Each structure stands twice: as C-alpha cells, then as structure tokens.
C-alpha cells in the first residue's frame, strides 16, 4: 500500500464542491458523471425539476450545460494559477425534456494549448464551449454556446 494520497477523480471533486460553490445547482441534483482534461459530462434528474406542463424547467437545462465550462476548466488547467468564469451563454431549446438529461462538451487539444498560452501571457483567455443536452432516449433537447474565460489569479 502506498503512503501517497491518491488524487480523487475530477467528477468526484466537482460533485464534492458543487454543494458549496453553486448551491442552487446542487439542490437541482446536477451531478458530474465524467470529467477529464478537455471533456465533461453532467446530468440532472427530471424529478423535482419540472415545470407547469410536465417538462424540465428551462433554467435547469441551462444550468446542467453551463456547469460544464467550470468542470472542464478544473480538469484541464492549473487551478493554482487560473480560474474559469462564464461571460455569455446562449441556450437553444430543441424539444421538451421529460426524462433525466445528460449534457456534455469538449475542448480539442489545440484549443487547450491556445487558451493555456494566452492566459499565461495575458492573464486571461476567452474560449467558446458548445454543449449538447440529451434526454434518456438520446434525443437532443437543448444546445448551448458559451463564451467562457480562463483568468489568472491576482490579475
């Protein structure tokens, strides 16, 4: 048995922190399913998140997708140097969601390299993240396009 402490998987870190960093998302039941450098997937249950006509409330669909920007940034960039924020996010509702939903997004390696270099040189770097939200049958219920920013601490 090793004396070194094992670093928890990124999804575990995100889920542990969500209650304190974004309590409203935690109360919705937003959960990180898979988080690794350049990729994140989240889910949220339909139970407790419905609206007046039996579909998932629009704000919940927005939230499960928006969380991806922070999750990817935490898994991809040096958190002791940088932190993420969302500057703008557009959501495109495609179909009513009547089941639990899954959202996912990714950043290609060349974009990660660009963001890292620019943030190190200028103290910040904007990047675009597109997410797809699907229901339990794989039907696309929403898509988002967000402008996120990676910022250097203290700058």
With CA atoms as reference, report the closest residue to 148 among 93, 76, 68: 68
Query: In which band, very low, low, confident or very high, does the pLDDT at 46 lie, cut at 50, 70 and 90?
Result: very high
Neighbours of 42 (CB within 10 A): 29
Between CA 101 and CA 28 the distance in angstroms is 12
Answer whether 42's CB lies under 8 Å from 33's CB.
yes
Query: In which band, very low, low, confident or very high, does the pLDDT at 21 lie, cut at 50, 70 and 90?
Result: very high
With CA atoms as reference, report the closest residue to 17 among 65, 57, 74: 74
- For the segment 131-135, the average pLDDT, to the nearest whole number, is 98
Answer whether 146's CB lies under 8 Å from 131's CB.
yes
**Chain segment 85-127, per-residue pLDDT in tens:** 999 999 999 999 999 999 999 999 999 999 999 999 999 999 9
Between CA 114 and CA 111 the distance in angstroms is 5
Token pair, residue 149, equals 């920013």
Query: In which band, very low, low, confident or very high, does the pLDDT at 6 lie, cut at 50, 70 and 90?
Result: low
Query: What domains sit in the chain, N to C, each tagged with a CATH number?
Result: 10-152 (3.10.129.10)
Q: What is the pTM of this model?
A: 0.91
């Amino acid at each position: 048995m090793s004396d070194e402490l094992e670093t928890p998987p990124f999804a575990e870190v995100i889920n542990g922190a969500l209650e304190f960093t974004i309590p409203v998302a935690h109360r919705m039941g937003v959960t990180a399913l898979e988080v690794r450098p350049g990729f994140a997937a989240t889910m949220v249950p339909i139970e407790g998140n419905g609206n007046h006509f039996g579909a998932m409330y629009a704000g919940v669909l927005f939230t499960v997708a928006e969380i991806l920007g922070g999750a990817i940034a935490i898994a991809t960039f040096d958190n002791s140097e940088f932190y993420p924020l969302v500057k703008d996010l557009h959501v495109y509702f495609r179909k009513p969601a009547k089941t639990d939903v899954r959202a996912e997004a990714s950043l290609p390696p060349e974009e990660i390299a660009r963001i890292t270099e620019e943030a190190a040189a200028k103290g910040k770097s904007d990047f675009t993240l597109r997410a797809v939200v699907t229901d339990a049958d794989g039907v696309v219920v929403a898509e988002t396009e967000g402008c996120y920013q990676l910022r250097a601490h203290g700058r």
